[in-house]
Amino acid sequence: MAFIKLDPKETDIVKSLFLFKGAEEELVVRALSDSLCEAAEFKKGEIIYSIHEYRQSLGCILSGSVQVTKTTADEHRYIMNTLRQGSSFGAAAVFCDSPEYVTVLRAQSACRIVFFPQALLERLIEESPVVAKNYVAFLSDRIRFLNDKIQGLISASTGQALANYLMGSCVEEAGRPVVRLDGSVSALAGKLNIGRSSLYRAFDALERRGIISREEKKIVILDPEGLERFY
């Protein structure tokens, strides 16, 4: 990982970060020029955060894309999300004492990222009520998002139930998230506790929208973000 300087376009990306919404431009400039702030570049395939090695920092992607995955106890790697330019990560872990990060972040392409470590964030929060409010609001939105997903698991519609199952069961094959059914669609309907005809309609809806493609028991997720919005 090499230290790099931000160009004007990258600085504008940081200015649009949730942390600095409504803040004075001078605050952003001071934060970026602080000795604790670091911009770094990663090669394609390089691990940015792993379960046991991560920074207690807020990261902002300046260019490229980052794949977020989670590995289960049986060593299956599931694709959770893809982060792109302007996206942030790590906010919930900055002030957490846990020795483990919940996911693995890997550079999907060559990318640049700027990091705001805990000590710098503490100073910004103390200096600026706007930054403090932005940080609390962001974490509150994340809590609400997670609560909505939990509620979706409890009382999901057919489409939500299918989308949730696909997101939680995909593995990476040839660079794409893929789900391989271990039984028939009827068996899946029973597993999800929904009607077979309703499940077929949900599959058709996802295919029409270009979110998935099906080849017998193989389901390729063409648009992970679209699938996440679907449920």
Domain finish residue from 114, 140, 166: 140
Q: Which amino acid is at 112?
A: R
12 and 107 together in one domain = yes
Residue with tokens 């519609």: 157
Residue 2 has what pLDDT? 46
Residue with tokens 């970026």: 32
Q: What is the CATH number of the domain that holds 127?
A: 2.60.120.10
Domain finish residue from 140, 162, 183: 140
Residue 150 has what pLDDT? 64
Q: What are phi and psi of 61, to 5 degrees?
A: -80, 120
Name the residue among 147, 150, 129 with its Cα closest to residue 139: 147
Three-state SS for 217? coil
Residues of the chain with pLDDT under 50: 1-3, 155
Neighbours of 220 (CB within 10 A): 15
Three-state SS for 108? coil
Q: What is the CATH number of the domain that holds 175?
A: 1.10.10.10
DSSP 194-212: S-HHHHHHHHHHHHHTTSE
CB 211 within 8 A of CB 165: no
Domain finish residue from 140, 162, 191: 140
CA distances from 171 to 5, 77, 78, 180 (A): 36, 6, 5, 9
List pLDDT tens digits, range 60-85: 999 999 999 987 666 667 788 899 99
Domain carrying residue 194: 154-230
H/E run at residue 123 = helix 118-127
Q: Is residue 225 part of a domain?
A: yes
